[in-house]
Amino acid sequence: VNGVRAVVKKGLLDWLDHERPDILCIQETKAHTDQLSSEILQDHGYKTYWHSGERRGYSGVATFCKEEPLYVQEGLGIEKYDREGRVLLTEHEDFLLYNIYFPNGQKDDVRLQYKLDFYDDLLPIINEQVESDNNVIVTGDWNTAHFPIDLARPKENIRTSGFMPVERERLDTYVDNGWVDTFRLFHPEPHRYSWWSYRMGARDRNIGWRIDYFFVNGSFAESCIDADIHDDVMGSDHCPISLSIENNSS
């Protein structure tokens, strides 16, 4: 969301009150909870969980739940990532939910490698949970467009972090391991993006990237009834994405 405090000023809570999702996952909160008021922490009726980076004003994720999760974990359990406040795991009745702000690799080779390591280290963890009979959803800002259809300028960005072959190969590996990009189940069409540069009026011209996903394990994909991108919602350089799941109880 490029700063929760900024998007609250721009109407996040009105939008939340209108949409009332069962669960809301946000990334790049850029705030510690002691910097936030009760209007965003709790007054809306959701239980909220926060994982913030050590560095003030940087990174951070939050998960809002109508129903209290069975279990909440801050971080992946790997120190070098957890210092940056990138992961919230919540357990729900029918699935585990990872809310993740994947690293950005554009600053230098060190950060690119850090990003690639994150992909490599996350995969065995979630694979193991599926093997243990859990359904798993991994959502958030993945910071990588997988295929040329997923960004407006594929040829121009082959050497830009976010669409480099090494990064795309990591997503290939997720797919090879049975993980499903749910948006494409329902939307084969091009020109559907979830992020646009603030600069150069990129959003007005839809020069964007699809870098936000809901990946789910293969068998759970059958329970997904819709996935979408809501590019009419303003307030950030990203727009919301959604996943709808079959309701088995009631």
> Binding residue for DNA (CB under 7 A) from 33, 73, 160, 244?
160
The span from the CA of 169 to the CA of 193, in Å, is: 20
Active-site residue, from 14, 141, 172, 237: 141
Residue 114 CB, nearest distance to DNA (Å)?
A: 9
Q: Is position 141 annotated as part of the catalytic site?
A: yes
Q: Which of 147, 144, 106 is nearest to 122 (CA)?
A: 144
> Binding residue for DNA (CB under 7 A) from 137, 171, 202, 239?
202
> Binding residue for DNA (CB under 7 A) from 95, 174, 179, 209?
209
Among 56-64, 87-95, 121-129, 242-250, the segment contacting DNA (CB under 7 A): 56-64
Residue 219 CB, nearest distance to DNA (Å)?
A: 33
**Does 54 help bind DNA (rule: CB under 7 A)?**
no
Contact yes or no for 154/163 (Cβ under 8 A): yes
Q: Judged by CB, which is closer to DNA: 64, or 95?
A: 64
The span from the CA of 127 to the CA of 174, in Å, is: 9
**Does 57 help bind DNA (rule: CB under 7 A)?**
yes
Subset of 112-151 contacting DNA (CB under 7 A) = 151
The span from the CA of 12 to the CA of 202, in Å, is: 22
Site string for DNA, 63-102 (x = CB under 7 A): ----------------------------------------
Q: Judged by CB, which is closer to DNA: 197, or 219?
A: 197
The span from the CA of 103 to the CA of 146, in Å, is: 15
- Strand 136-141 relative to strand 96-101: parallel, antiparallel, unpaired? parallel
Among 18-26, 63-71, 194-202, 222-230, the segment contacting DNA (CB under 7 A): 194-202
Contact yes or no for 105/116 (Cβ under 8 A): yes
Binding site for DNA (CB under 7 A): 2-6, 10, 28, 30-31, 35, 56-59, 103-104, 106-107, 111, 151-153, 156-157, 160-162, 197-202, 205, 207-209, 237
